[in-house]
Structures are given as C-alpha cells and as structure tokens.
C-alpha cells in the first residue's frame, strides 16, 4: 500500500512526526477514513464538523473532509443526541369536568379500583380491593374498601360515598365491567 502525503510549507518546522508536516491524503469513501472519522468524533464527544476536521488535519488530509464528516454525523446517534432540541409539548385544554370551580367538592367525580391486597380478618387472610373516588376539580380523594370486584360491591361503596359526600353530578370511570354493570 502506498501512502500519499500532502506537500506543505511547513518543512522547516521542528516537529516530532513527518505526518505533522505532510499529512496523509485519504479518500473520503474508504473504510479506513470512515473509521478514523468515527473514532475522532467519539474521542472529541461529538463536536461540530469543523472541530473534527481540524483535529483530523493534524495527521490526515481527507478529500472533501467537511462533507464526509457532516455525512457521518447526520447518521451518528451520539451526534443526534447532542444536537437534538427538546420537544415542546403542547398542552391540551382541560375537560369541562375539571373546570366546575364554583361547585361543591365531588360535584364531578372520577372513580377507579385498585388491589388486591391481603387483609387479615381474625385468623384468616382475605383478598380486599380498594376504590378511590377523586374530585376532578379540587383533587380531593375518598377511599373505601371492597370485598370483591363485582357490581354489587361497587354499588355498596357508591352508596357509602353518596351518604358521606353527597350525590355527584357526574361519575367518570375507566369503563370496567363492575362500573358498566352499575350503569
């Protein structure tokens, strides 16, 4: 393999390496050149193309170097991460259930079940579920305990909720089978 060196005007400089005076000429499409660009870019932690080119020109002269470095950096995941801009999130308007400001708590209520949890009842352990009623305006919560996830247990919990907090104008849920059965 024959290496071609670029001639320059630095012949009189006191340098430790002949490649500093006459850098090696490289083809931009060659695999070795692409590997050198990749290594230099990674060592410098993915800077701008001019910085990579300046560092490479200490020892190598890549034909159409800026163009080949830009081509590599457009596909480099590390470069994309450093040069990426944060996504601006667009806020969606609040639903009308959240905007009933002059109404009493739990006027608009969301409901969901969670669990199961093992609860000790006497000497036995039994499964129990929780139900959460959430005021959609004030974010207040009301917790209750369910013996099962069927419709009857939900209706009993809803009656206890209404007895303490009053009848809500609307109840929103995730459309679980126990909630649809209560409809």
Residues 3-28: tens digit of each pLDDT: 676 766 556 666 666 666 678 888 88
**Contacts made by residues 83-88, CB under 8 angstroms, sequence distance 24+:** 83/46
How many other CB atoms are there within 10 angstroms of residue 145's CB atom?
A: 14
The pLDDT of residue 104 is above 60? yes
Looking at residue 22, what is its pLDDT?
Answer: 73
Question: Which residues sit opposite 114 in a β-bridge?
Answer: 130
Diameter of the chain by CA atoms? 97
Looking at residue 39, what is its pLDDT?
Answer: 93
Cβ contact 65:56 at 8 Å: yes
pTM metric for this prediction: 0.52
Looking at residue 74, what is its pLDDT?
Answer: 92
Positive or negative, the Cα torsion across 139, 144, 148, 151?
A: negative
pLDDT tens for each residue of 117-165: 998 988 999 999 999 999 999 999 999 999 998 889 989 999 999 999 9
């Amino acid at each position: 393999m024959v290496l071609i060196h670029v001639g320059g005007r630095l012949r009189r400089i006191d340098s430790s390496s002949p490649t500093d005076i006459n850098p090696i000429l490289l083809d931009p499409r060659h695999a070795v050149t692409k590997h050198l660009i990749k290594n230099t870019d990674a060592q410098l932690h993915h800077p701008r193309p001019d910085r990579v080119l300046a560092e490479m020109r200490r020892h190598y002269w890549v034909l159409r170097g800026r163009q080949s470095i830009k081509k590599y950096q457009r596909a480099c995941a590390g470069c994309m991460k450093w040069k990426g801009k944060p996504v601006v999130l667009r806020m969606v308007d609040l639903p009308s259930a959240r905007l009933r400001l002059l109404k009493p708590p739990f006027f608009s209520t969301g409901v969901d079940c969670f669990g199961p949890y093992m609860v000790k009842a006497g000497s036995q352990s039994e499964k129990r579920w929780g139900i959460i009623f959430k005021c959609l305006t004030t974010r207040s919560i009301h917790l209750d305990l369910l013996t099962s996830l069927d419709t009857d247990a939900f209706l009993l919990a809803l009656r206890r909720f209404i007895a303490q907090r009053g009848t809500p104008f609307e109840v929103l849920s995730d459309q679980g089978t126990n909630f649809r059965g209560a409809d």
